[in-house]
Structure 1
């Protein structure tokens, strides 16, 4: 019985990883960002660009490890916050990420996330949480 539970947990984790990979790559398309930016946001090397296509097609999941899962969690939280803030404005919903922002010293949220890495992604997510009063 224990072996079955372990097998189910591995399958679920792999399945969840694939669902997350498809969701985040779909989000990147909506944001209209380059593959280099996508790799930076996921914390993978630029030589892994081919992996992005496999992720989008559901052939592989997000990279294993806590860092990757937390990055994807923050990125999807950013999208959720933007959906709540701009439910009827697709230009802001998908374009906000590339708009200059005074709160980020004139940088775009995308620049903050790429330049500051994991901490920048968390910073943008927290900013949006505060903006919507959470």
Structure 2
């Protein structure tokens, strides 16, 4: 994501903030989920809604990428029902031992983001297993 222009990065920042606020995440959960640098305090998150871009940090970029793919997968699952996109992440799910996907993402960190994305997007899970590389050799 380092190749993004400042305008693209700020647009991405607003998109992710809107997504996380749509999921009703509090500031402390947003900090945990994105693993923003320790210098950024919960009270300062509002600046990312309007004026500043998220830091260009490899760890933050990876998490932003996961969140964008999760958002896209939810659009595929619920193309005509935006309310269900927000509701799905908040409801207990058998796949995650009756935990809500948002809890999995916040509590389990990057592995939680990967678990949720793998559940929603089979192509991501396929790529993660290495099956894609093996399939091409057949």
Unaligned ranges ≥5, structure 1: 1-9
> Could you tell me how far apart the structure 2 residues matched to 1:37 and 1:60 are?
19
Task: Please state if 1:126 is matched with 2:129.
Answer: no
Q: 1:42 aligns with which of 22, 34, 44?
A: 34
Question: Would the aligned equivalents of 1:25 and 1:52 in 2 still touch at CA under 8 Å?
Answer: no
Q: 1:75 aligns with which of 51, 63, 67?
A: 67
Unaligned ranges ≥5, structure 2: 127-138
Question: Would the aligned equivalents of 2:48 and 2:54 in 1 still touch at CA under 8 Å?
Answer: yes
Q: Given the two structures, how large is their TM-score scaled by the length of structure 1?
A: 0.80
Question: Would the aligned equivalents of 2:74 and 2:85 in 1 still touch at CA under 8 Å?
Answer: yes
RMSD between aligned residues: 2.4
Q: 1:96 aligns with which of 61, 85, 88?
A: 88
Q: Which is richer in helix? A: 1
Task: Please state if 1:29 is matched with 2:33.
Answer: no
Question: Would the aligned equivalents of 1:39 and 1:46 in 2 still touch at CA under 8 Å?
Answer: no
Question: Would the aligned equivalents of 2:27 and 2:43 in 1 still touch at CA under 8 Å?
Answer: no
Task: Please state if 1:17 is matched with 2:9.
Answer: yes
Q: Given the two structures, how large is their TM-score scaled by the length of structure 2?
A: 0.78
Distance 1:83 1:46, change over 3 A: farther
* Cα shift readout 1:14-56 (whole Å, capped 9, x = no counterpart): 3222111111001112112211211111112496223321111
SS at match of 2:121: helix
